[in-house]
Amino acid sequence: MNTSVVLFTADLRLHDHPPLRAALDGADEIVPLFVRDQGVTDAGFAAPNRLAFLADCLRDLDAGLRERGGRLVVRSGDVVAEVCKVAAETGADEVHMAADVSSYAQLREQRLRRALEADGRRLTVHETVTGVVPPGAVTPASSDHFAVFTPYFRRWSQQPPRDTLGAPRSIRVPEGIGSEEPPSRSTVAGTSPGPAAGGETEGRKRLTAWLRSGIAAYEDRHDDLAGDATSRLSPHLHFGTLSAVELVHRARASSGPGAEAFVRQVAWRDFHRQVLAARPAAADDDYRTRHDQWRSERSAGEDIEAWREGRTGYPIVDAAMRQLLHEGWMHNRGRLLAASFLAKTLYVDWRVGARHFLELLVDGDVANNQLNWQWMAGTGTDTRPNRVLNPITQAKRFDPDGAYVRRWVPELAGVRGAAIHEPWKLLGAERARTGDYPDPVVELADGLGRFKRARGRD
C-alpha cells in the first residue's frame, strides 16, 4: 500500500487543491495532516481572532474529509518534527504541500525538505495553491520582482491561471493514526465580539452570494464605507478556504466592469506576495527607506493608545479603528485612513500600526499587511510616497452623510449629516449630546499633524 501525506497550511479546503489531487493520483492512501505549529505561536502570530477562524476551518475541513470517507489528522508541536513522525508512522514516501511566500514559510519548506530527505522521503511543493500567479513567474527585465503595481498587473493579466480542480469524491486514510480533536472556537479566549465565521463551506457560500449580488456594483461601490460593498473574502483567501485561482476564474466568468475591478484588486494580493518573496526582510524593515525619524511607542504613547482605542477625535478614523476592535476586520478605505493617520498625521512608526492590525485582523497577513502599511507610510511601493489622506476630506467623500461613523461611534449617533465629521465645530445642545467623545489629538494642516512638519525642520 502506497501512502502520501498532504500537509495543509494556508490552504484549508478540498476544492481546487493541487497537493491533494496529486497525492490522490499518486498513492492508494493519504494522510491529510494539519500541525498546530508551535513556531507560529512563538513568532507571536497566533492572534485570538485568527485562532478562532482557524478552529472553524479545521472543523469544516475534517467534516468535509469525513463525508468522503477520510478524516483530518491534527497534531501539535514543531511542524517539521510532526510531519516526519506521521510520515514514519504511516510509511509515507512523499509529502505534498503548498508553496508560500513569507520567510517563515520558506524556511519551513527548506527544513522540511532536508528532514524528509534525510529519512529517504520526498517533499513535493505545489505553486498556485495560495496565490494565482506565483512569485517570480513574471519579472521585469532588470529585477527579480516588480516594485510598481501597474506594470506588474499588465503582465499578471497576460498569465492564464491554471484550470481549477474539483473536490475529490472519496479519500482513504490509513487506520490507526493518532490525532487530536480539531480545536473549537469556543476554547479561544480574547476574541473580538463580532468576528466572521471560518471554514470552506462558509467561504463558498459567501463567494456564491458575492458573485450573484455583489460583484457587479464593485467598481462603483467598493469605496463606500457605509455601503460595506466589498466581498469580505479576505479571511478566506488568507486561510485558503477559497482558492484565489478559482475566485479569479469565477469572477471573470461573471464579466462586466465590476468583475474587472475586483480581479485587479485580487492581483494586488499577488503583487505584495511577489515583493515579500523576493524581499522577506520587508516584513520588518523599510522596503525603501526615507530615513524617517518616526515617533516611537515611548514618545507618542498617548496618541498611539488613542488611535488603538478609536478615540483620536477624528470620527472617520475612530469609526474604522472601532470596526477593527469589534469585527477583527476593517474596510479597505478605513485601513488606508487609519494607516495614513498613524504614519503620516501622527508620524508614528508604521511597524507600531502594522503590529496592532496583526493582533486583530482575521485576515492578518504578513505580505498584505506589512506592505500595505509600508505603501501608506511612504516606505513601500507607492510611487507617490508623500501622499497624505486628509481624514476630513476623505470622510466627506467616502462617508458623505456620516452613516459609517454613526454605526461605529455611538457618542456621535445623534449628529445629523456631514457635520458628524467635524464634531469640534458643533455648538450648544448638539455639542453637548456628543458626551465624552474626545477633542482631536492633533490639529491638521493639509492632513499632516505637526510632528512630521516639526521633524522636517530638524
Judged by beta carbon, residue 83 or residue 361, the one nearer ligand FAD is 361
Mark the segment that binds ligand FAD (CB under 6 A) among 31-39, 267-275, 311-319, 394-402. Answer: 267-275
Task: Fill in the amino acid letter for 89.
Answer: E
Give min distance, CB of 385 to ligand FAD, in A. Answer: 15
Say whether residue 237 binds ligand FAD (CB under 6 A). yes
Say whether residue 357 binds ligand FAD (CB under 6 A). yes
Say whether residue 287 binds ligand FAD (CB under 6 A). no
Coil vs helix vs strand at 260: helix
Coil vs helix vs strand at 198: coil
Say whether residue 336 binds ligand FAD (CB under 6 A). yes
Say whether residue 226 binds ligand FAD (CB under 6 A). no
Which one of residues 4, 191, 234, 381 is an interface residue with ligand FAD (CB under 6 A)? 234
Judged by beta carbon, residue 29 or residue 363, the one nearer ligand FAD is 363
Coil vs helix vs strand at 33: strand
Judged by beta carbon, residue 3 or residue 49, the one nearer ligand FAD is 49
- Residue 369 carries which DSSP code? I
What are the cell numbers at 363? 485576515
Q: Give the interface size with ligand FAD as a residue count (CB under 6 A).
A: 27
What are the cell numbers at 369? 499587511
Say whether residue 204 binds ligand FAD (CB under 6 A). no
Say whether residue 311 binds ligand FAD (CB under 6 A). no
Report the site for ligand FAD in 366-385 (rule: CB under 6 A). 368-369, 372-373, 376
* Burial class for 302, CB neighbours closer than 10 Å (0-12, 13-18, 19+): exposed
Judged by beta carbon, residue 76 or residue 157, the one nearer ligand FAD is 157
Cα angle at 276 between 275 and 281, to 5 degrees? 120
Say whether residue 363 binds ligand FAD (CB under 6 A). yes
Say whether residue 94 binds ligand FAD (CB under 6 A). no
Give min distance, CB of 9 to ligand FAD, in A. Answer: 16
Say whether residue 268 binds ligand FAD (CB under 6 A). yes
Say whether residue 238 binds ligand FAD (CB under 6 A). yes
d(CA 442, CA 209): 42
H-type alpha helices, 328-442: 332-340, 350-360, 371-377, 391-398, 403-408, 428-432
Task: Convert 255-291 to b/e letters by CB count within 10 Å (16 or more is b).
Answer: eeebbbebbeebbbbbbbbbbbbbbbebbeebbeeee
Q: For residue 423, which of 285, 266, 312 has the smallest C-alpha distance?
A: 312
Residues near ligand FAD (CB under 6 A) are 222, 230-234, 237-238, 265-266, 268-269, 272, 332, 335-336, 339, 357, 361, 363-365, 368-369, 372-373, 376
